[in-house]
Chains A and B, each alone.
Chain A
């Protein structure tokens, strides 16, 4: 389970929605902005395509590439931080997004991992994902994302 040379973060949530609606919310900028502090992903969503997470003010937060993609079930991104030097220098992480339908729900699993121990990058994403994914769940189940994630993040 715990490889001492790796750091990883896994988050699971269940959302009452369909895989296609969840896929659209995860990949389309107009949905991203609502639950991701106005950030959005600039990507063509096909294997090998470049990928960037854009902040509301136009800065690039993270960049990478689509390593694998199988809509609406799974995608894997190469993901490197671009705006915090101490995270950038840790190199490229891998993010896997898995959508598994279960009755009238989808089980969503986000796995973020990097090949180094005690990663600051993994620590940072561990505190970031829960509110973003909770807000995504609210958006799909109630039509409204969490208010705080609808505006750019402080700091």
Chain B
């Protein structure tokens, strides 16, 4: 990876669990299916390994590479949206989960980073999605029951992605 990734979205949540339980919830498909929009994670547990989020029928929604696999502290991988045609041509982003003990609980920090000047209208997708996904993860670990949060892509997001794919601003010299 030669690109430099700049963090654009950070979401922090605290969970009454152990770091190992949070690690498992992030990396085990039996858990991700419950809180991550029904997607099953499929990850090779090593640096450089392949990473996918799959639809229930096995199709790929998201693909990438493991950048860091350090259980139970840090899990980082690149993300490319494959399941939606407009999104497939965007540069991959970098998603990092940091897990830290915090006074009997766990502090989970999600950082979404990009290698180009992403428009706010595109970042809006993650800014809307992460609170729902990670609130669900917390509920699964603390209560055994996830949240059924319905949402549509934010207004203007798909349009902004189409525009970016047409103009390819990441190819401009920086």
Which residue numbers of A lie inside 8 Å of B, CB to CB?
Answer: 1-2, 11-16, 102-105, 130-131, 134-135, 137-138, 141-142, 144, 146-148
Q: Which of A2, A15, A142 contacts B135 (CB 8 A)?
A: A15
Cα of A11 to Cα of B12 in the assembled complex, Å? 9
Min distance, Cβ A70 to any Cβ of chain B, angstroms: 23
Whether A14 lies near B13 (C-beta < 8 A) is no
Which residue numbers of B lie inside 8 Å of A, CB to CB?
Answer: 12-16, 102-105, 107, 120, 131-132, 135-136, 138-139, 142-143, 145, 147-150
Cα of A38 to Cα of B132 in the assembled complex, Å? 28
Whether B142 lies near A102 (C-beta < 8 A) is no
Whether A137 lies near B135 (C-beta < 8 A) is yes
* In the complex with contacts A13-B135, A135-B14, A142-B148 CB distance below 8 A: no
Whether B16 lies near A138 (C-beta < 8 A) is yes
Whether A130 lies near B135 (C-beta < 8 A) is no
Q: Which of A131, A142, A148 contacts B142 (CB 8 A)?
A: A142
Min distance, Cβ B10 to any Cβ of chain A, angstroms: 9
Whether B103 lies near A137 (C-beta < 8 A) is no
Q: Return chain A residues, CB-CB under 8 Å to B103.
A: 146-148
* In the complex with contacts A105-B149, A130-B14, A137-B138 CB distance below 8 A: yes
Whether A12 lies near B131 (C-beta < 8 A) is yes
Cα of A142 to Cα of B139 in the assembled complex, Å? 9
Q: Which of A16, A104, A134, A148 contacts B13 (CB 8 A)?
A: A134
Across the interface, name the chain A residue whose C-beta is closest to B105: A146
Main secondary structure of the interface of B (DSSP, over half): mixed
Q: Return chain A residues, CB-CB under 8 Å to B120.
A: 1-2
* In the complex with contacts A14-B135, A130-B14, A135-B14, A147-B104 CB distance below 8 A: yes
Whether A14 lies near B104 (C-beta < 8 A) is no
Inter-chain pairs besides A103-B150, A138-B142, 4 sampled, C-beta below 8 Å: A13-B13, A14-B131, A141-B143, A146-B103
Q: Return chain B residues, CB-CB under 8 Å to A138.
A: 16, 138, 142
Whether B139 lies near A134 (C-beta < 8 A) is no
* In the complex with contacts A1-B120, A103-B148, A14-B136 CB distance below 8 A: yes
Cα of A11 to Cα of B127 in the assembled complex, Å? 10
Whether B14 lies near A134 (C-beta < 8 A) is yes
Residue of B13, B131, B135, B147 with most partner-chain A CB within 10 A:
B135
* In the complex with contacts A137-B138, A142-B16, A13-B105 CB distance below 8 A: no
Min distance, Cβ B134 to any Cβ of chain A, angstroms: 9
Whether A16 lies near B131 (C-beta < 8 A) is no
Min distance, Cβ A102 to any Cβ of chain B, angstroms: 7
Min distance, Cβ A99 to any Cβ of chain B, angstroms: 14
7 A-B pairs with the lowest CB-CB distances in the bound complex, closest first: A148-B103, A134-B14, A12-B131, A14-B135, A130-B12, A1-B120, A147-B104
Across the interface, name the chain B residue whose C-beta is closest to A12: B131
Give 16 CB contacts A-B under 8 Å: A13-B13, A14-B149, A15-B135, A131-B102, A131-B107, A134-B14, A134-B105, A135-B14, A137-B139, A138-B16, A141-B139, A141-B142, A142-B16, A146-B104, A146-B105, A147-B104
